[in-house]
Structure 1
Amino acid sequence: MKRDWDRRTCARRGHVTYAPTEPWLNERLRTRTALGEAWRCLRCGDFTLGEPHGTGKAEDAPLVPRGKALRDRFILRLLAVERLVRGALIVLIAYAVWRFSNSQTAVQQLFNKDLTLLRPIAVHFHYDLDHSPIVGTIQKTFSYHRSTLVATAAALLAYALIEIVEAFGLWAAKRWAEYLTVVATAAFLPLEVYELTEKVSYLKVGTLLLNLLAVLYILLAKRLFGLRGGAAAFEAERHGASLLEVETSAGALTTDGAELPAARGESVGRGGS
């Protein structure tokens, strides 16, 4: 299953090959075929024909996400899309509130005019507009001061910006974005619970569950706030899944039993993804 994630990503984005300058490790990642030289992909492990995409010391090789790291990145990017869509919607709502604050009287007059026209139809269908919760909520907004509406629009815009920053950070797999997402999402969980005590709906329940799962997943999978060993354990897990790390460990001893540099604790593959 792990290799499925790797190969699927390579099929979409292409292989990643690298030629270490260390001769013993270079030979482990290279093979010769009738069609020419082939190099092992650092993501899926398959050999691919052609020149390597990079060369240099093993410690300068790119740390290519693979296996569980790829799955985690896929989930984070789903969350990033959800945050971006939510942020865009909140921006639109903030803009609507601001526009309403500038033309509150005109909108109220238009609403009252439409309400008068709809009243005979409502009576025909035995619907009491005077005691309608929806109509009452709309009419209540007309009593808000303009300063209150402007402050509400500003607060909504600030919240939307946080969501958008989270989205871009999660998409790029930035650790600060994972912390921001957990803190910001957890901060609003009590409000979501309170809203459920006022009125239960499938949307509110679904949103609460999604946010709870997102917080728990990021906390545990990314080992935030020292959980499950913290950042050190997370980095060790990432490096341990690196193909170059695996190959280095596998070749840590030469054929005559002598230790190679990697077996003495020298690091490899510490570049960026």
Structure 2
Amino acid sequence: MKIDWNRRTCARRGHITYLPHETHLQERLHASTALGTAWRCLRCGDFVLGEPHGSGPARDAPLVPRGKALRDLFILRFLAVERALRGLFVVLAALAVWQFSNSQDAVRQFFDKNLDVVRPVAVHFHYDLDHSPVVDTIRKTFGYQHSTLLLVAALLLAYALVEIVEGVGLWWSQRWAEYLAVVATAAFLPLEIYELTEKVSWVKIATLVINILAVLYIAVAKRLFGLRGGRAAFDEERHSASLMEVETSAGVSAPAPAHNG
């Protein structure tokens, strides 16, 4: 089933109407009904009863996203939420590393004490804790210097800040955020591919595929880096989809009525 993004958005946010000063446009955008005057919504094109939400020259009418632009906005906001949530999780990881750096000795003692407690259970199930990769990895972290852990926490916070700023920018459909999303996401793709060579998991595969699709979609759909005509073509596409622009063009191109002389 095809989604009508215009009416879907109007049902959630309400209609947007506008009274242009140009007389020929007023005739195209308003209608008189038994219930009163109705004006066409600049998003869905339906006639809406009541006074217009704004007025002025047609060139000053709000540029309301319609159709494909609304679909793109929905996808960008989905990515924005994913980026913001990822940023928050990384902040929590940075705080955990920072907290660990301040109590490294206490955590080591706690770990060794509890390792001795579970050792008989591990022996019962024929599991060698002393040569366990997980245990070895945890023990290696105890050997990290305090300054190294602080550096890791700082780098995690910097990464989290980039993700959160990127998410906020994508939510408001800022072009700089789209560039940031493409560059930042593409920069980590080699690392994600390398991790797959170390150990394959469905989570890693899904993450890699989503990030690749996100880079391609944003770059192509938003015409970044000069693709498909670049910014000029993107702005022209947005304006050509505007209902006010469509009606203005229709008014200009409409043939003048013939006069019998």
Instruction: Tell me what 1:261 maps to.
Output: none
Question: Paired residue for 2:216?
Answer: 216
Cα displacement (A) at 1:195: 1.0
Q: Which amino acid aligns with 2:55?
A: T
Match of 2:86 in 1: 86
1:1-273 equivalences under 5 Å are 4-253=4-253, 256=256
- The one-letter amino acid paired with 1:190 is P
Cα 1:73–1:2 change in 2 (3 A) is: farther
Shift of 1:132: 1.3
Runs of 4+ more than 3 Å apart? none
Post-superposition offset of 1:197: 1.1
- 8 Å contact kept, 1:87–1:164: yes
Hey, what's the Cα distance between the residues in 2 that align with 1:205 and 1:184? Answer: 18
CA–CA separation in structure 2 for the residues paired with 1:126 and 1:7: 63
| Aligned-residue RMSD, C-alpha | 1.3
Residue 255 of structure 1 and its aligned partner are, at CA, apart by: 5.1
SS at match of 2:55: strand
| 1:52-85 Cα distance to aligned partner (Å, 9 max, x none) | 0000000100000010000000000000000001
Distance 1:71 1:250, change over 3 A: same
Matches of 1:183 and 1:257 in 2, distance apart? 55
- Name structure 1 gaps, 5 residues minimum: 259-273
Q: Please report how far the alpha carbon of residue 133 of structure 1 lies from its aligned counterpart in structure 2 after TM superposition.
A: 1.3
- State whether residues 2 and 68 of structure 1, in contact with CA within 8 Å, keep that contact through their aligned partners in structure 2: no
Q: Structure 1's 220 and 58: CA in aligned 2 closer, same or farther, altered over 3 A?
A: same
| Structure 2 CA distance for aligned equivalents of residues 212 and 100 of structure 1 | 34
User: In 2, distance between residues paired with 1:86 and 1:111?
Assistant: 28
Contact 1:179 1:224 in 2 (8 A): yes
Q: Whole-Å Cα distance in 2 between the matches of residues 240 and 42 of structure 1?
A: 13
- Structure-2-length-normalised TM-score: 0.96
The Cα of 1:192 is off from its aligned counterpart by 0.9
**TM-score of the two chains, using structure 1 as the length reference:** 0.92
Q: Deviations over 1:177-221 (max 9, x none)?
A: 000000111111111111111111111111111110000000000
| Alpha-carbon distance between aligned partners in 2 of 1:254 and 1:96, rounded to the nearest angstrom | 67
- Are the counterparts in 2 of residues 3 and 44 from structure 1 also a CA contact under 8 Å? no
Contact 1:19 1:55 (C-alpha < 8 Å) held by counterparts: yes
Paired with 1:66 and 1:40, the residues of 2 have a C-alpha distance of 14
> How many Å separate the matches in 2 of 1:20 and 1:243?
12
Provide the identity percentage: 72
Match of 1:264 in 2: none
Q: Structure 1: how far apart are the matches of 2:193 and 2:255?
A: 63
8 Å CA contact retained: 1:66, 1:241: yes
For residues 38 and 124 of structure 1, the distance between their equivalents in structure 2, rounded to whole angstroms, comes to 80
- TM-aligned CA distance change 1:143 to 1:3, over 3 Å: closer
Aligned residues: 258
The answer to whether the Cα contact below 8 Å between 1:2 and 1:67 also exists between their aligned partners in 2 is no
Q: Which runs of 5+ in 2 are unaligned?
A: none
- Does the 8 Å contact 1:83/1:164 carry over to 2? yes
SS of residue in 1 equivalent to 2:4? helix
Any conservation in 2 of the 1:3–1:67 contact (CA below 8 Å)? no
CA distance in 1, matches of 2:49, 2:118: 72
